[in-house]
């Protein structure tokens, strides 16, 4: 049986012959081997063992099938012929008409070679030959990842043909000679030489796919990234932008992974005269770091700075209104949260004055909720320390401590009553705070008690396959009048958004610098209809009434009068073909909408409408705004889809802000996208733009993209 076992050993090692499998498992000679065949004999004189008819050799999860197998003991050569199939444990399947391999595995030959890799990509060659134990040569080879995407006559949508493919397992490199990319059977690209790392290499230094572009800002441009795999835990991508109408934009991104965190930094820079016709150096930095200290604590740092307001938008990096620099350390307890942080903001809007934007450092927050006691009551603590500094304007430091207690009770009828009380205590040290009598400085304190009782009574009715819910809600809020002296600066409560989400909140200001004093009652109704198939319609509507006429809220907020505006939210989702969210705020007297937001999707995948509409009435801080964004998306076929969209300003001074269209093809081996966009907005040295871009992604090869306008 020794020769027969030798046949099995050699044939199992055939898995190593192509040298293409990235994850082929090492052969274990101690692992049991099972071999079956219709006929098995051994010629003692010639030293040849032969197995014929449905030969199957199994070791572990590796299986070899062939019509016939012969082992020449004298020459140490094993051959397999007829429907040779090798199944790898990692999922690869190797096919061949004929295979011959030497005993030491350093030389071998396969004819009619085909391979199905575990990611469903396919490789075929007229022959495959192994030389020196580390080099595998494929002759007249073809590669394609297309499984279901096919062109005419069933050929792959695209494939790479090469006169030869050489895989060097020592250098871990695959080299193509005389390679041609074919699309729908037609050659579209030829290269005499192409190389890339073999599948065992996760990262390797080299050039990446370039991006081409043409624009009114930069002229013709090309961006060719070079990837440098510095080590297993760090890399650098250098991808300068070379343009005909601008000096090069030097940019690159560095990444590093640590045992306890990650770091990423992108830096760019160039020189141009786009601003004020004066040559100057422009650039930006965008950096993020996240590190774990232990199981409960972590820290992070975000550095985002630009040389000027429009640089990032002009050169296509990003288009934020504000760059936020943030240093923090935070901890998560079982029922508590603590964070210490610092902020620096860079405003990029035309109206921003950098000297008036505060630096927030330091800032500490602590929140704690106790375990419920035997009656269900819980104690809470919210603590805050914050310091704001400006070059021009108010400077302040604040220390706040707000202990609280809350409990909820459900009676025998099903109504739910909740009670919460709190005592907000604040201490401010201020400088140059604007007041009605001029700038003011000093130390000021505030003690503000508050209690809120809420009651709700949900009613449920089932009718057939649907359920209906009707739930009245009400709340009584008790607090002393006032609480907002003008010598306490308002830093975190300047913008107020009154809607159904904060209707029943104890304090409807966004932050802590302003408190909502006085006594008020809040009332509302929530109702819903829910179907068994998943469809639902919900409505919530409500209003509040303040017992005193004075209000801490600005005109236009909806809370400036004793009776507030009426807020409502309606969501309708009867099926997967329709979804509507309608949020509004009505004037309490005229019932005219002072704020409206509509988000809707309607239609099947074949033709779906997306609509977003927003309307804001004029307030003390902002002008009125009315805008609509609409789009139509069609899933034309299983692989083709199209979209058209537009965005319009509906105010008297408005007009079309942008419009565009796109065409997308997606299949298992290729993605194609053609997109057109025209924007009419202007921001200083960034004029209105028009762009036609396309992008092609070849599975396992990479991406080709270009901007044509």
Please give the structure tokens belonging to residue 499: 């809607």
DSSP for 485-508 reads: -TTS--SS-S----STTSTT-S--
Model pTM?
Answer: 0.79
Phi then psi dihedrals of residue 152, to 5 deg: -70, 150
Instruction: Return the residue matching tokens 């003692």.
Output: 44
Q: Is the peptide bond before 362 cis (omega within 30 degrees of 0)?
A: yes
Q: Which tens digits make up the pLDDT trace of 246-262?
A: 889 999 999 999 999 99
331 CB-contact burial (10 Å; exposed 0-12 / middle 13-18 / buried 19+): middle
Rounded CA-CA distance 645/625 in Å is 20
Where is pLDDT greater, at 180 or 168? 180
Please give the structure tokens belonging to residue 209: 């796919």
Rounded CA-CA distance 69/54 in Å is 10
Rounded CA-CA distance 207/240 in Å is 12
Q: What's the gap between Cα 3 and its chain centre? A: 58
Q: Which tens digits make up the pLDDT trace of 337-383?
A: 999 999 999 999 888 899 999 999 999 999 999 999 998 999 999 99
Q: What's the gap between Cα 666 and its chain centre? A: 20
CA-based nearest residue to 346, from 378, 365, 323: 323
Q: What angle do CA 642, 648, 651 make, to 5 degrees?
A: 165
Lowest mean pLDDT among 65-74, 117-126, 135-144: 117-126
Rounded CA-CA distance 294/142 in Å is 51
Residue 520 pLDDT: 97
CA-based nearest residue to 355, from 387, 331, 380, 389: 389
- Answer yes or no: is pLDDT of 609 > 70: yes
Instruction: Return the residue matching tokens 């500094």.
Output: 389
pLDDT band for position 506 (cuts 50, 70, 90): very high
Kindly report each contact of residues 266-275 with a partner whose C-beta sits within 8 Å and lies 24 or more positions away, as own/partner.
Answer: 266/317, 268/315, 268/317, 270/246, 270/315, 271/247, 272/246, 272/247, 274/314, 274/685, 275/308, 275/310, 275/684, 275/685
Rounded CA-CA distance 183/171 in Å is 31
pLDDT band for position 176 (cuts 50, 70, 90): confident
CATH topology of domain 2-175: lipopolysaccharide transport protein A fold (2.60.450)
The domain segmentation of the chain, as residue ranges, is 2-175
Mean pLDDT of 499-525: 94
pLDDT band for position 622 (cuts 50, 70, 90): low
Lowest mean pLDDT among 183-197, 287-301, 342-356: 183-197
Cα distances (angstroms) measured from residue 614 to each of 307, 584, 593, 624, 679: 34, 10, 11, 11, 19
- Answer yes or no: is pLDDT of 8 > 70: no
Where is pLDDT greater, at 439 or 221? 439
CB 601 within 8 A of CB 609: yes
- Answer yes or no: is pLDDT of 604 > 80: yes
pLDDT band for position 21 (cuts 50, 70, 90): very low
């Amino acid at each position: 049986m020794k020769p027969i076992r030798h046949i099995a050993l050699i044939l199992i090692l055939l898995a190593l012959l192509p040298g293409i499998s990235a994850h082929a498992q090492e052969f274990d000679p101690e692992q049991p081997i099972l071999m079956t065949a219709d006929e098995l004999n051994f010629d003692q004189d010639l030293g040849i063992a032969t197995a014929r008819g449905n030969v199957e050799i199994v070791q572990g999860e590796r299986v070899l099938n062939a019509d016939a197998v012969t082992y020449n003991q004298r020459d140490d050569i094993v051959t397999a012929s007829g429907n040779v199939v090798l199944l790898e444990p990692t999922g690869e399947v190797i096919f061949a008409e004929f295979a011959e391999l030497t005993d030491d595995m350093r030389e071998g030959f396969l004819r009619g070679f085909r391979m199905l890799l575990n990611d469903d990509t396919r490789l075929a060659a007229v022959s495959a030959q192994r030389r020196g134990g580390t080099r595998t040569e494929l002759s007249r080879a073809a590669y394609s990842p297309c499984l279901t995407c096919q062109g005419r006559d069933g050929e792959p949508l695209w494939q790479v043909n090469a006169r030869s493919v050489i895989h060097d397992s020592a250098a871990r490199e695959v080299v193509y000679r005389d390679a041609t990319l074919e699309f729908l059977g037609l050659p579209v690209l030829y290269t005499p030489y192409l190389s890339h790392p073999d599948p065992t290499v996760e990262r390797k230094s080299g050039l990446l796919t370039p991006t081409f572009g043409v624009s009114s800002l930069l002229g013709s441009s090309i961006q060719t990234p070079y990837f440098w795999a510095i080590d297993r835990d760090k890399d650098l991508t250098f991808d300068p932008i070379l343009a005909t109408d601008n000096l090069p934009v030097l940019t690159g991104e560095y990444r590093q992974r640590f045992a306890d965190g990650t770091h990423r930094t992108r830096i760019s820079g160039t020189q141009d005269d786009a601003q004020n016709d004066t040559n100057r150096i422009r650039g930006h930095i965008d950096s993020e770091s996240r590190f774990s200290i232990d199981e409960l604590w972590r820290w992070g740092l975000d550095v985002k700075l630009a040389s000027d307001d429009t640089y990032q938008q002009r050169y296509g990096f990003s288009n934020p209104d504000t760059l936020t620099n943030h240093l923090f350390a935070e901890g998560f307890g079982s029922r508590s949260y603590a964070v210490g942080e610092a902020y620096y903001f860079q405003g990029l809007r035309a109206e921003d004055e950098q000297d008036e934007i505060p630096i927030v450092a330091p800032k500490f927050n602590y929140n704690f909720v106790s375990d419920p006691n035997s009656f269900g009551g819980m104690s809470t603590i919210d603590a805050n320390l914050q310091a704001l500094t400006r070059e021009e304007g108010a400077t302040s430091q604040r220390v706040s401590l707000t202990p609280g207690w809350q409990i909820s009770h459900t009676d025998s009828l099903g109504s739910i009553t909740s009670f919460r009380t709190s005592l907000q205590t604040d201490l401010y040290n201020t400088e140059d705070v604007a007041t009605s009598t001029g700038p003011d400085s000093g130390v000021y304190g505030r003690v503000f008690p508050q209690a809120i009782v809420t009651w709700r009574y949900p009613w449920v009715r089932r009718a057939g396959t649907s359920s209906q819910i009707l739930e009245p809600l009400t709340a009584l809020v008790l607090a002393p009048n006032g609480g907002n002296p003008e010598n306490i600066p308002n830093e975190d409560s300047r913008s107020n958004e009154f809607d159904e989400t904060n209707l029943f909140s104890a304090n409807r200001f966004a932050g802590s610098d302003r408190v909502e004093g006085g006594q008020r009652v809040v009332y509302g109704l929530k109702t819903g209809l829910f179907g068994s198939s998943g469809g639902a319609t919900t409505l919530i509507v409500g209003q509040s009434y303040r017992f005193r006429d004075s209000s801490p809220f600005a005109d236009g907020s909806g809370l400036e009068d004793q009776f507030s505006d009426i807020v409502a939210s309606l969501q309708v989702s009867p099926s997967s073909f329709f979804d509507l969210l309608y949020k509004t705020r009505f004037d309490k007297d005229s019932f005219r909408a002072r704020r409206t937001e509509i988000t809707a999707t309607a239609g099947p995948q074949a033709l779906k409408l997306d609509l977003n509409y927003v309307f804001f009435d004029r307030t003390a801080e902002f002008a009125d705004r009315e805008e609509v964004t609409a789009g139509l998306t069609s899933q034309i076929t299983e692989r083709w889809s199209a979209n058209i969209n537009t965005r319009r300003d509906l105010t008297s001074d408005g007009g079309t802000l942008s419009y565009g269209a796109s065409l997308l093809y997606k299949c298992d081996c290729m993605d194609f996208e053609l997109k057109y966009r025209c924007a009419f907005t202007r921001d200083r040295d960034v004029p209105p733009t028009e762009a036609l871009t396309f992008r092609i992604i070849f599975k396992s090869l990479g991406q080709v993209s270009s901007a044509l306008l």
